[in-house]
Amino acid sequence: MTTPRIEFDLTPSANPLPAAEREAVLANPGFGRRFTDHMVTIRWTEAKGWHDAQLTPYAPLEIDPANMTLHYAQSIFEGLKAYRQPDGSVAVFRPDANARRFQRSARRLAMPELPVETFVEACDLLVNQDKEWVPGVGEESLYLRPFMFAAEVGLGVRPANEYLFMVIASPAGPYFPGGVKPLSVWLSEEYVRAAPGGTGEAKCAGNYAASLMAQAQAAAHGCDQVVWLDAIEHRWVEEMGGMNLYFVYGSGADAKVVTPELTGTLLPGITRESLLSIASDLGYRTGEVRISTEEWREGNADGSITEVFACGTAAVITPVGSVKSNGANWTVGDGQPGEITMRLREKMLAIQSGQAEDVHGWMHRLG
């Protein structure tokens, strides 16, 4: 039996931001600072399931001080982007993949699973309504932030019996307005992001709260980002901040492009998964491996590891230029963005902006 399609109530804003002001925001959007004119909300209760789906003007929520999310963090999110296409239309990159991951995150946090088609429809509805907010060029995009949290009031510790799913959207400029700049990273041997059996695979708010101290420590060591190691041996490389990592062995057509395997403590990035396909489309060998900090250091010292980069929806691909830990300090390659890193980056952006053929059917076109 198929579930009946949920009906959305539409209440467009009576006073959207005037075009001139919107254009001023789009000229310098930054990241996650300004939001479009509308938002989507869908409620879930034990008695009614998913109901009360609405598109309304973007507005603050009223929250009871005893809202369960504020106390026990039953809260998950997603991040995906809508891109302007050469013909002026708009397409979203792999929303179905985000929808499925959102279901897995929900399951892990004992929350109800939103049907994939409802998640995609909610995103489509918001992008369509606010399509003037999708920037016009290349690397710029409209960042979509679907999220869900417990909406029940009470201090008893148990899964809530009421949730609110929402989608908001924020225009995003190029991650590197001044050109791609390699990052310096700090290997965190003191803090861990995720342990076996924990919530590392889920995109939940609490993971980010727990990461902030390590990020501050990285900054205190003069580094841009923290690299997470496994929780048990503090030796196996997992992720960088909120992004997955890639290592390039060798160069030219013989290069091998590898990423740490999904052990249950890594967040399964959609950019990560897409890049395994893109790298192999470009003729590189690929792999999902375990890589230790010693192998990384020695590989850079003997030249077998030529490039390292991080990847995720927000920054697409970011080269890693140097590494620091307690007692070690090294440069990746010559410290500059690598050739294969940049080739993968360009290919990914070309697919997203509609400049390259979408051979995998990743672009979800609207309208």
Amino acid at 250: G
CB 304 → ligand PLP: shortest distance, Å? 26
- Determine, following the binding rule CB under 6 A, whether residue 267 of this chain makes contact with ligand PLP: yes
CB 350 → ligand PLP: shortest distance, Å? 17
How many distinct helices (H) and strands (E) make up the chain?
8, 18
Applying CB under 6 A, among 272, 345, 347, 364 the residue interacting with ligand PLP is 272
H or E element in which residue 82 lies: strand 80-84
DSSP states along 87-149: TS-EEEE-HHHHHHHHHHHHHHTT-PPPPHHHHHHHHHHHHHHTGGGS-SSTT-EEEEEEEEE
Region from 50-58, 123-131, 239-247, 340-348 binding ligand PLP, contact rule CB under 6 A: 239-247
Q: Using an 8 Å Cβ cutoff, are 77 and 69 in contact?
A: no
Q: At what angle do helices 339-352 and 270-281 cross, to 10 degrees?
A: 110
Region from 22-30, 118-126, 266-274, 299-307 binding ligand PLP, contact rule CB under 6 A: 266-274
Applying CB under 6 A, among 215, 271, 318, 325 the residue interacting with ligand PLP is 271
Q: Using an 8 Å Cβ cutoff, are 188 and 214 in contact?
A: yes
Region from 134-142, 147-155, 235-243, 255-263 binding ligand PLP, contact rule CB under 6 A: 235-243
Which residues between 74 and 93 bind ligand PLP (CB under 6 A)?
79
Q: Using an 8 Å Cβ cutoff, are 202 and 193 in contact?
A: no
Looking at the Cβ atoms of 176 and 330, the one nearer to ligand PLP is 176
- Determine, following the binding rule CB under 6 A, whether residue 148 of this chain makes contact with ligand PLP: no
Report the alpha-carbon distance of residue 122 to residue 113 in Å, rounded.
14
CB 79 → ligand PLP: shortest distance, Å? 5
Neighbours of 357 (CB within 10 A): 8
- Determine, following the binding rule CB under 6 A, whether residue 316 of this chain makes contact with ligand PLP: no
Q: What's the sign of the alpha-carbon dihedral 183, 30, 169, 64?
A: positive
Looking at the Cβ atoms of 243 and 351, the one nearer to ligand PLP is 243
Neighbours of 76 (CB within 10 A): 28
CB 297 → ligand PLP: shortest distance, Å? 23
- Determine, following the binding rule CB under 6 A, whether residue 312 of this chain makes contact with ligand PLP: yes
Q: Is 23 exposed, middle or buried (0-12, 13-18, 19+ CB in 10 A)?
A: exposed
Looking at the Cβ atoms of 13 and 217, the one nearer to ligand PLP is 217
Looking at the Cβ atoms of 270 and 340, the one nearer to ligand PLP is 270
Applying CB under 6 A, among 75, 105, 141, 313 the residue interacting with ligand PLP is 313
Amino acid at 151: A
Q: Using an 8 Å Cβ cutoff, are 229 and 235 in contact?
A: yes
CB 222 → ligand PLP: shortest distance, Å? 23
C-alpha 116 chain-centroid distance: 18
CB 192 → ligand PLP: shortest distance, Å? 13
CB 208 → ligand PLP: shortest distance, Å? 7
CB 30 → ligand PLP: shortest distance, Å? 18
Helix (H, G, I), strand (E, B) or coil at 251: coil
Applying CB under 6 A, among 269, 319, 338, 354 the residue interacting with ligand PLP is 269
**Binding footprint of ligand PLP on the chain (CB under 6 A):** 79, 203, 239, 242-244, 267, 269-272, 312-313
